[in-house]
Amino acid sequence: MNIPESLKDIQQFVARGEISLVNICKEYIDRIKSSKTNSFIEIFENEALSKAEEIQKKITDNGAGLLAGLFIGLKDNICYQGHQLTASSKILKGFESMFSATAVEKIIKEDGIFIGRLNCDEFAMGSSNENSIYGPVKNPIDLNKVPGGSSGGSAAAVAERLCNATLGSDTGGSVRQPASFCGVVGFKPTYGRVSRNGLIAYGSSFDQIGVFSKNIDDTCLISHVISGADKFDSTVSIKKPNKKTINNVDKKLNIGIPEDYLNFKNLDPEIKEKTLSVIENLKSKGHHIELLKFPYLEYIVPTYYVLSTAEASSNLSRYDGAHFGLRSYDSSDINTTYENTRSEGFGIEVKRRIMLGNFVLSSGYYDAYFTKAQKVRRLISQKTFQMLEKNDVLLFPTTPTTAFNIGEIEDPVTMYLQDIFTVHANIVGLPAISLPIGKHSNNLPFGIQLMSGKFKENQLFELSKFLMQNY
């Protein structure tokens, strides 16, 4: 069965009685069951089917919400009341959410249907989706390759058409990097655009819930729905969400190109070439292009890993065997309960980051690492805002390479360097999107990234739609 790709088409087909939501739901469930990528770890089968019936009626009665007809997957680090939630970690085994994330509630209110739970790197820490208690996710384009991480399941599921869209989280690139590796659209909103209430905290000053889909119209609409003020997250802005639809696709913009990104020594030559050809094309269509210097590229990954591990070590202290999920019973008192539960429950990468985070926060090293990294964060932000004074959007690749083999990268630092082009947006809190317009001669996709000023999502979507139409 063919399922129309965009939500608008699905809604029209359903309204005309040419397709039913129950049939779409059954088709997606069949596809998930026969998938070989390990992206879904649970299907909400009965629930999704009964909601499909209910929302089908709403569409035919003309009383449906904005997301009626949307089947959406949920990364396993976002709360959905009454459903399991593990962050792909043993330490949360058996835990059930007591409430739904604000973003989840908003989607349900607009009649979107959650179809299942998606594999990810443990506590969203990773760039390959290999750090998961459920085993690695495979890239649907080539099952020997990683899908990227940490929202690898969310990216693979959309690429494989197991649902229309998915939610992921992006702390340092976890939506955009897997989107690039799997050939789908991946969007991270401005920090403070979407409530983090109900998102398992990793690096609280970086985390945002993001959206995967196949097209910009759906990305724009879902982002509109999940945005907006929330009394449960004081960092969310009261600014109006981005518009529901994209109007002005042909607006001529000032586009800045940080040259240092294109001259990065490990950038794949074909990705560089494609980025340059996109830039040429934009120039020929009347956009103004300016080459920019960004002197902090080499500091961007260290800054991110000092600060994000510091925040993570504090956020993850709550998993102690007393409050959530796993408890080691092989313990004699409260301290051994903490020690044993955390030793048994956390995977190796999470432990590495907790230790690193505690180290950079320890009294003897606090100023040398944590304070210093905060200062560098400030410098990176100032320089970026300066680049955005004259430019509407910055353009550069999403990833230096295409997807690598499962098991290929063993060294943690090499893995951390995979985030070199994505952490910038999180350090500064800017919105950014990866567009699946690159195709390598090795047959794998790669993304071109756009980043704009704070709360300028409308602009980002306008240029994104233009680029998607032209490639």
Tokens for 189, please give them.
């909103």
For 257, half-sphere exposure in the C-beta direction (CA atoms, 13 angstrom radius) is 19
Of 10, 40, 35, nearest to 22 by C-alpha is 10
**At its nearest, how many Å lie between ligand GLN and the CB of residue 226?**
17
Give one DSSP letter per residue of 355-413, joined into a string: HHHHHHHSTTTHIIIIIHHHHHHHHHHHHHHHHHHH-SEEEEES-SSSPPBTT----HH
Interaction residues for ligand GLN, span 193-232 (CB under 6 A)? 202
Q: Is 173 in the site for ligand GLN (CB under 6 A)?
A: yes
* Whether residue 174 lies in the annotated active site: yes
Pick 68 or 146: Cβ nearer ligand GLN: 146
Q: Is 126 in the site for ligand GLN (CB under 6 A)?
A: yes
Tell whether omega for the bond before 150 is within 30 degrees of 0, i.e. cis.
Answer: yes
Judged by CB under 6 A, which of 88, 171, 213, 452 binds ligand GLN?
Answer: 171
User: Phi, psi (5° rounding) for residue 323?
Assistant: -100, -45
Q: Which residue is nearest to ligand GLN (CB)?
A: 174
Interaction residues for ligand GLN, span 320-359 (CB under 6 A)? none
Q: State the number of binding residues for ligand GLN (CB under 6 A).
A: 15
Distance CA 111, CA 70 (A): 8
Give the gyration radius of the chain's Cα atoms.
21
Judged by CB under 6 A, which of 122, 170, 218, 457 binds ligand GLN?
Answer: 170
Catalytic entry in 39, 89, 127, 150: 150
Pick 19 or 409: Cβ nearer ligand GLN: 409
Catalytic entry in 174, 180, 308, 452: 174
Catalytic entry in 39, 51, 75, 100: 75
**At its nearest, how many Å lie between ligand GLN and the CB of residue 157?**
17
* Whether residue 75 lies in the annotated active site: yes
Binding window for ligand GLN (CB under 6 A); candidates: 39-47, 125-133, 336-344, 428-436: 125-133
The label of the residue with tokens 């999920």 reads 325
> Going by C-beta distance under 8 Å and a sequence separation of 6 or more, which residues neighbour residue 384?
294, 394, 424, 428, 430
Q: Is 174 in the site for ligand GLN (CB under 6 A)?
A: yes
349, 122 in Cβ contact below 8 A? yes
Interaction residues for ligand GLN, span 409-448 (CB under 6 A)? 419
Judged by CB under 6 A, which of 100, 102, 150, 384 binds ligand GLN?
Answer: 150
Pairing of strands 393-397, 254-258: parallel
Distance CA 147, CA 39 (A): 9
Would you give the binding string for ligand GLN spanning residues 283-322, x where CB under 6 A is met? -------------------------x--------------
Pick 64 or 179: Cβ nearer ligand GLN: 179
Task: Return the sign of the alpha-carbon dihedral for residues 109, 115, 116, 119.
Answer: negative
Pick 4 or 412: Cβ nearer ligand GLN: 412
Distance CA 468, CA 187 (A): 14
Pick 126 or 453: Cβ nearer ligand GLN: 126
Distance CA 279, CA 255 (A): 9
Task: Return the sign of the alpha-carbon dihedral for residues 50, 56, 57, 62.
Answer: positive
Q: Is 127 in the site for ligand GLN (CB under 6 A)?
A: yes
Tokens for 420, please give them.
């070199």
Distance CA 434, CA 453 (A): 16
Pick 39 or 150: Cβ nearer ligand GLN: 150
Judged by CB under 6 A, which of 55, 101, 125, 350 binds ligand GLN?
Answer: 125
Residues annotated catalytic, as ranges: 75, 150, 174
Residues forming contacts to ligand GLN in the complex (CB under 6 A) are 124-127, 149-150, 169-174, 202, 308, 419
